[in-house]
């Protein structure tokens, strides 16, 4: 086997194509710096365009190997009446020119833009100064999300002042002062306004996605990829462990992330226990074991490379290739 067996791997990375801060080459350079030998590009409902594919073709000789992938947003499981809080299916080794997958991405990107417009309107009515153009200016890729809104907000000093006013206002009303004052400005925005459980209601807009799990898996498989359930802990209140095992038993997933949450500050013990359970399920049903740092920037990579969990990713890509035999056309990893 090649060098990929000797280094850490993050089979879950985001670039500027969605909500990451690094380019494709930037991810690979940062990975090399932190001894990460394989990186999978898994942007939110987005794929590398033709220009990016040319860039990636020129990066196939890079010391850090790469896999082209995607992360699909899913909100429904066929048999469950209750909608599952938005969860994610990562597709690895997908064909970035697959028409069905590209059509899906275009539809989702239009929905993301419509959602951003609604939240921007809500923010303006709350005293912030922000436009759609401001958000588009910080989003280099087609997939717009809340991190782009937060980044655009914080560029303007007027918005920083308004945020400080709201923090003081909520602390005066009984909000956790330590939690808010110790948070970064971006964290404050999410805790106060942009998160699903935001303290101030009326700003956050739910993601309008009715993609069903089996349809997401089918999209990935038909594009030549393997479908991986991502960071399960964050959706397990509805998508229970029993359901994950059923999906595994019925071969409705190809794999499960058993390494994730490296950069999460709260609930580490719960995540650790969940990963142990998931590893048991993957072993029992012969599913692929995947994982990584859910990388969005260089700081994420640094934290990932220094974590105890990261060592469990060594050799994952090679084992995946051996077991699933996916097409390697859009990957620089080789057995």
Give me the residue label for tokens 């790469």.
66
pLDDT at 237: 82
pLDDT at 335: 66
Please give the Cα distance from 328 to 3 (Å, whole number). Answer: 17
Q: Which residues of 99-130 are buried (b: 16+ CB within 10 A; e: fewer)?
A: eebbebbeebbebbbebbeebbebbeeeebeb
Query: What is the Cβ-side half-sphere exposure of residue 168, based on CA atoms within 13 angstroms?
Result: 6
Q: Are 231 and 257 in contact (CB under 8 A)?
A: yes
Burial of 31 (0-12, 13-18, 19+ CB in 10 A): buried
Neighbours of 335 (CB within 10 A): 11
Residues 64-114 have pLDDT tens digits of 999 999 999 998 888 887 666 678 999 999 999 999 999 999 999 999 999
Q: Are 33 and 295 in contact (CB under 8 A)?
A: no
Neighbours of 293 (CB within 10 A): 30
Domains and CATH numbers, the chain: 3-106+213-324 (3.20.20.140), 113-194 (no CATH)
**What residues in the chain have per-residue pLDDT under 70?**
1-6, 82-85, 209, 335
Q: Are 73 and 136 in contact (CB under 8 A)?
A: no
pLDDT at 3: 42
Closest CA to 290 of 216, 329, 232, 335: 232
What would the two tokens of residue 14 be? 């985001």
Please give the Cα distance from 112 to 208 (Å, whole number). Answer: 8
Please give the Cα distance from 203 to 120 (Å, whole number). Answer: 8
Q: Could you tell me the end-to-end alpha-carbon distance of the chain, in angstroms, rounded to an integer?
A: 6
Element (H, E) at 309: none
Contact partners, residue 19, CB within 8 Å, separation at least 6: 43, 44, 143, 145, 147, 148, 296
pLDDT at 80: 82
* E strand residue ranges, 132-286: 226-229, 255-259
Query: What is the Cβ-side half-sphere exposure of residue 171, based on CA atoms within 13 angstroms?
Result: 13
Q: Are 294 and 300 in contact (CB under 8 A)?
A: yes
């Amino acid at each position: 086997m090649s060098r990929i067996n000797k280094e850490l791997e993050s089979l879950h990375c985001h670039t500027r194509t969605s909500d990451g801060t690094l380019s494709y080459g930037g991810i690979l350079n940062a990975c090399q710096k932190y001894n990460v030998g394989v990186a999978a590009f898994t942007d939110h409902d987005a794929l590398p365009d033709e220009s990016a594919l040319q860039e990636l073709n020129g990066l196939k000789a890079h010391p850090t190997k790469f896999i082209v992938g995607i992360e699909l947003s899913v909100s429904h499981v066929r048999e469950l009446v209750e909608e599952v809080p938005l969860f994610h299916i990562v597709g690895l080794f997908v064909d970035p020119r697959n028409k069905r997958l590209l059509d899906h991405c275009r539809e989702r990107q239009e929905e993301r833009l419509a959602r951003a417009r609604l939240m921007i309107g809500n923010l303006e009515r709350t005293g912030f100064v922000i436009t759609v153009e401001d958000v588009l200016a910080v989003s280099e890729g087609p997939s717009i999300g809340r991190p782009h809104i937060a980044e655009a907000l914080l560029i303007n000093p007027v918005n920083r002042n308004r945020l400080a006013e709201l923090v003081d206002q909520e602390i005066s009303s009984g909000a956790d002062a330590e939690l808010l004052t110790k948070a970064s400005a971006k964290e404050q925005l999410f805790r106060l306004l942009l998160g699903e459980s935001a303290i101030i209601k009326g700003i956050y807009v739910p993601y309008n996605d009715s993609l069903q799990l089996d349809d997401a898996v089918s999209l990935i498989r038909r594009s030549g990829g393997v479908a991986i359930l991502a960071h399960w802990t964050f959706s397990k209140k509805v998508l229970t462990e029993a359901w994950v095992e059923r999906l595994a038993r019925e071969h409705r997933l190809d794999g499960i992330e058993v390494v994730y949450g490296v950069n999460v500050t709260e609930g580490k013990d719960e995540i650790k226990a969940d990963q142990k359970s998931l590893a048991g399920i993957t072993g029992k049903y012969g599913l692929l074991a995947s994982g990584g740092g859910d990388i969005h920037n260089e700081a994420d990579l640094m934290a990932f490379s220094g974590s105890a969990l990261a060592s469990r990713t060594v050799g994952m890509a090679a084992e995946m290739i051996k077991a699933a035999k996916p097409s390697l056309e859009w990957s620089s990893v080789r057995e």
